[in-house]
Amino acid sequence: MYLSFYGFKDEPFRLTPDPRYLHLSEPHRAALTAVLEGIFYRKGLVMLTGPIGTGKTTLVHSALQIISDRKMPIKSALLFNPVLTRDEFLEMMLEEFEVSCSSSSKPRRLAALHQMLLETQRMGGTAVLFVDEAHLLTPELLEEIRLLGNADTHEGKLLQIVLSGQPELLTIMQRKELSALQQRIAARANLRPLSVSETNVYIAERLQSAGLKGPSPFPSQTIEVLHAFSGGVPRLINLMCDGCLATGFRSQQCVIHPQAVEEVASSLGVSRLDVTAPTRKSVRLPVWQAPTAEPNASNDRSAKATFVSGNNNNGNLANELIQREFQAESVLALGNSVRSDAMKDRGVYQKTAVDMLIESMKTRAVGRGTN
């Protein structure tokens, strides 16, 4: 109802995981990188944790979108409700992977699943199982997942598994009977709420993605109050910003004032929080590296980008994935705009492979949205 009043083409703060509105703050970018590396380099098991509303499900859907947009033989399955028995878990896996098995026998179902995993690997691909709300998994199901993850060959893991859940998952993993599973976790990523500055960028990016051309209706003072109530949790930010825009429309206010935030917070039953801004930590760069070319090498428009894997045996899928989509000029373009002495820190001034995958995903999503 407020779209035309503020000049939006779409709702900027919808709660659905729309790839067009994917925002990657520091912890979210590191988490998505860990998930994608775990898939492309066949690491086996990756664990993603974070408090309620910090964007775990959005990251899972973004990873799914990225791998489904690629012209690669990657099979994926998403289990969003893991409150199941062992037999039900296996049955849902087969359905999600689209594996046909008329038998209700567990050995036959496992054999059908294993056959699919082998065929996918022979085609140069891999299979990925995403389990959302993984903190709800029983110890029995976690042991089942460990056994499924044992499927591998000399070329690498046949099944990549991403467990996404609330911080309780970390406590569950500390149980003695799950020590064998914990030792198989190849990568861990933890999400946190956004700082004030990250909240500012988050809101600005969503407004821009929704079509805003003019100034933001959220001044800095309002964002500080909004952060104090939301605690930097993206889901609460979305709820409160949407409520503020609706309130501003009803009162015909182009600028959202702090009082409006307090009114919306009261209506949502949200109390003001004493939030300490999270400490910024350095983020490990992806193991994919930018092309090892000199700054002026971008003039060679026919050169292909080469990405080096930390594990040459498992890097072929990731390398081929990127090389099929991108030219070296797309990687080096940013380096052309900075001075040569600044190129010493290539990780700062060059786009990573994950950056390019995300940009490609967003571009495709925007194209689908306009059709």
Confidence (pLDDT) at 21 = 83
pLDDT greater than 60 at residue 149:
yes
Domains in the chain, number: 3
Show which of 190, 215, 245 is a domain's final residue: 190
114: in domain: yes
Q: How many CB atoms lie within 10 A of CB 19?
A: 21
Looking at the fold, whether 135 and 214 belong to one and the same domain comes out as: no
Question: Angle at Cα 291 formed by Cα 285 and Cα 295, nearest 5°?
Answer: 105
218: in domain: yes
Confidence (pLDDT) at 340 = 37
Contact 12, 208 (CB under 8 A): no
Q: pLDDT, tens digit, for every residue of 52-85?
A: 999 999 999 999 988 886 667 899 999 999 999 9
Looking at the fold, whether 167 and 52 belong to one and the same domain comes out as: yes
Q: At which residue do the structure tokens 């004032």 appear?
A: 257
Domain CATH for 118: 3.40.50.300
Show which of 190, 209, 241 is a domain's final residue: 190
In the DSSP assignment, the letter for residue 295 is: G
Contact 273, 225 (CB under 8 A): no
Confidence at 370, pLDDT banded by 50, 70, 90: low
Q: How far apart are the C-alpha atoms of 162 and 238, rounded to whole Å?
A: 26
Structure tokens at 17: 């995981």
Q: pLDDT, tens digit, for every residue of 161-190?
A: 999 999 999 999 999 999 999 999 999 999
Looking at the fold, whether 61 and 170 belong to one and the same domain comes out as: yes
Looking at the fold, whether 186 and 198 belong to one and the same domain comes out as: no
Looking at the fold, whether 92 and 200 belong to one and the same domain comes out as: no
What pTM was estimated for this model as a whole?
0.77
Determine the structural domain holding residue 343 and report its residue range: 295-370
Looking at the fold, whether 210 and 186 belong to one and the same domain comes out as: no
DSSP string, 103-168: ---HHHHHHHHHHHHHHHHHTT-EEEEEESSGGG--HHHHHHHHHHTT-EETTEESEEEEEEE-TH
Confidence at 155, pLDDT banded by 50, 70, 90: confident
pLDDT greater than 90 at residue 299:
no
Confidence (pLDDT) at 156 = 83
Looking at the fold, whether 38 and 177 belong to one and the same domain comes out as: yes
Angle between helices 234-250 and 220-230 (to 10 degrees): 130
Q: pLDDT, tens digit, for every residue of 102-124?
A: 999 999 999 999 999 999 999 98
284: in domain: no
Structure tokens at 119: 């065929």
Confidence (pLDDT) at 106 = 94
Q: How far apart are the C-alpha atoms of 160 and 126, rounded to whole Å?
A: 7
Looking at the fold, whether 238 and 341 belong to one and the same domain comes out as: no
pLDDT greater than 90 at residue 193:
yes
Looking at the fold, whether 175 and 198 belong to one and the same domain comes out as: no
Show which of 268, 284, 318 is a domain's final residue: 268
Structure tokens at 298: 């971008």
Confidence at 12, pLDDT banded by 50, 70, 90: very high
Confidence (pLDDT) at 368 = 58
Q: How far apart are the C-alpha atoms of 257 and 48, rounded to whole Å?
A: 36
By C-alpha distance, which of 114, 101, 100 is closest to 151?
Answer: 114
Higher pLDDT, 193 or 292: 193
Can you say how many angstroms the Cα of residue 5 is from the centroid of all Cα atoms in its chain?
32
Higher pLDDT, 139 or 21: 139
Confidence at 136, pLDDT banded by 50, 70, 90: very high
Confidence at 353, pLDDT banded by 50, 70, 90: low
Confidence (pLDDT) at 306 = 31
223: in domain: yes
3-state helix, strand, coil in the chain (%, to 5): 55, 10, 40
Looking at the fold, whether 86 and 186 belong to one and the same domain comes out as: yes
Looking at the fold, whether 60 and 45 belong to one and the same domain comes out as: yes
Q: How far apart are the C-alpha atoms of 78 and 64, rounded to whole Å?
A: 9
Contact 59, 48 (CB under 8 A): yes
